[in-house]
Amino acid sequence: MSEYQALGGRIFTKPFMVLSVIFAISLYFMFDRFVIGGMGAVSNLNGGFAWGIWVVYDVVIGTAFACGGYALAIAVYVFNKGQYHPLVRPAILASLLGYALGGFGAFFDMGRFWQFYEIFLPWNWNFNSVMLEVGLCVAIYILVLAMEFSPALLEKLGKKKLLKSLNKVLFLFIALGILLPSMHQSSLGSLLIAMGHKVNPLWQVMQMQPLLALMTAILMGFSIVLFEASTVTVGFKRNSETHILSGLGKIIVGLLIAFLVVRFGVLTFQGKLGLIFAGDFASFMFILETILFVIPLVILLSPERRAQGSKLLIAGVCMLLAGSLYRFDAFLLTFNPGPGYNYFPSVPEIMITLGVVAFELMAYIVIVKLLPVMHREEHA
């Protein structure tokens, strides 16, 4: 008998219907974008801001949100922390959906979507390009996640034999599932290097971009697990998993300290500390970001607070906000292509992004109800 269970229950609940309405609205704008007016008709993208929320939210931040599977895989399979094993499968599902929709976002944003396959043709490859690494690596990782998640489907279908042979080689996919995100998540940081002066000096740390990007990815990965596990516990009225989660809190503390040391170390080394107190918009955003990074640190440092579900949730949320803001600030909010260019996302642009997120949540809800994803409650 599997140690996982489908949650069951009605699918067409009220939240589900609300989400489907949002998704339906976004379909209308997608039609406009792909068939009638092109990207200009639905977005405020322009010559200076070629990347808006579709790239920065759907891909750059969305995939960081989808790093739960990656972060847990490191804890469980590299550091051999079996106690987190129950969290792995739901996290893999969230990662699969997050990355698949990130991939969809990238396709959506692709100016010449009808020849997207050109990036997969080896004779076109430019090995100097960070974008090439990101594109290929994310595409392969989506397949790897699908393999990692497939046991849930096979269990449901009762394909015992297939499941057995898959389990024999699964370790290979798990290893790839740790390597690939390490590669493309750090590359998302490297994308900033080529943008040179357009990236604000507080975020333009040149060679150190990949390291900071990778650290925030892992941090956000653990935080999303914290967040998802605590909301699922509440939302689906399951027993509290706080005893497992408080351990995750500890890992986050270690990572957070390391991140802050590296970040401030780099800024000190590059002589940019003064910019933090310049009193302009960028310095304000930097301080806000730092506060959001420090709040979870303060919460999670104390063992008592770590044992409280609500505190864990706050810490997780702050951490996710901090990590998202870090990427938003660098890619968009303090991004300055030069005089004459402004960007604020248009309503259709935002609706499309919301539609994508709504679809992701709907898929998650349906799948955990139909497939054995959630761990059986221990006392059951």
Partner 1 sequence: MKRRDFLKTSLGGTVTAAAALGGTVCSGTAQARPNLEPAPEAVGMLFDSTLCVGCKACVTKCKQVNEMPPVIEGDHIAWDSARDLSGDTLNVIKVYQNGDRSTKDVEIDGFCFEKRSCMHCVDPGCVSVCPTTSMQRNPITGIVTHHPDTCIGCRNCMVGCPYNVPQFQYNEVFGQINKCQMCNQKGVERIDNGQMTGCAEVCPTGATLFGPRKLLLQEAKQRMALKKGDTYNYPRGDISKPDNYYEKEVPDYKQHIWGEKEAGGTNVMHISAVSFDKLGMPPLGERSAPSVVEGVQHALYSYLALPAMALAGLTYTVKKNTSDHDDDDGGES
In the window 262-281, what residues touch partner 1 (CB under 8 A)?
262
- Contact call for residue 183 and partner 1 (CB under 8 A): yes
- Contact call for residue 337 and partner 1 (CB under 8 A): yes
Q: For partner 1, which is the closer residue by CB, 14 or 115? A: 115
- Contact call for residue 104 and partner 1 (CB under 8 A): no
- Contact call for residue 78 and partner 1 (CB under 8 A): yes
Instruction: Count interface residues toward partner 1 (CB under 8 A).
Output: 92
- Contact call for residue 82 and partner 1 (CB under 8 A): yes
The distance of closest approach from Cβ of residue 181 to partner 1 in the complex, given in angstroms and rounded to an integer, is 12
What letter would DSSP give residue 126?
-
Please name the amino acid found at residue 104: F
Of 89, 15, 101, 27, the C-alpha closest to 62 is 101
The distance of closest approach from Cβ of residue 70 to partner 1 in the complex, given in angstroms and rounded to an integer, is 12
CB under 8 A: which stretch of 75-83, 231-239, 279-287, 360-368 binds partner 1?
75-83
Q: For partner 1, which is the closer residue by CB, 120 or 284? A: 120
> Does residue 147 contact residue 111 with C-beta atoms inside 8 Å?
no
Please name the amino acid found at residue 379: H
- Contact call for residue 207 and partner 1 (CB under 8 A): yes
The distance of closest approach from Cβ of residue 316 to partner 1 in the complex, given in angstroms and rounded to an integer, is 17
The distance of closest approach from Cβ of residue 98 to partner 1 in the complex, given in angstroms and rounded to an integer, is 20
Residues 6+ apart with CB under 8 A from 279: none
Of 132, 114, 109, the C-alpha closest to 50 is 109
Q: Considering only residues 107-136, where is the footprint of partner 1 by CB under 8 A?
A: 109-116, 118-119, 121, 124-133, 135
Cα–Cα distance measured from residue 126 to residue 130, given in angstroms and rounded to the nearest whole number: 9
Task: Choose which of 17, 27, 235, 250 interacts with partner 1 (CB under 8 A).
Answer: 250
Instruction: Spell 169-188 as b/e; 16+ CB within 10 A means b.
Output: ebeebbebbbebbbbbbbbb
> Does residue 201 contact residue 328 with C-beta atoms inside 8 Å?
no
> Does residue 327 contact residue 216 with C-beta atoms inside 8 Å?
yes
User: Would you mind telling me the total number of residues written for the chain in this entry?
Assistant: 380
Which ranges constitute the DSSP H helices of 158-196?
160-194
Neighbours of 330 (CB within 10 A): 28
The distance of closest approach from Cβ of residue 376 to partner 1 in the complex, given in angstroms and rounded to an integer, is 12
Task: Choose which of 72, 75, 225, 368 interacts with partner 1 (CB under 8 A).
Answer: 75
Q: Considering only residues 41-60, where is the footprint of partner 1 by CB under 8 A?
A: 41, 43, 45-48, 50-51
- Contact call for residue 182 and partner 1 (CB under 8 A): yes
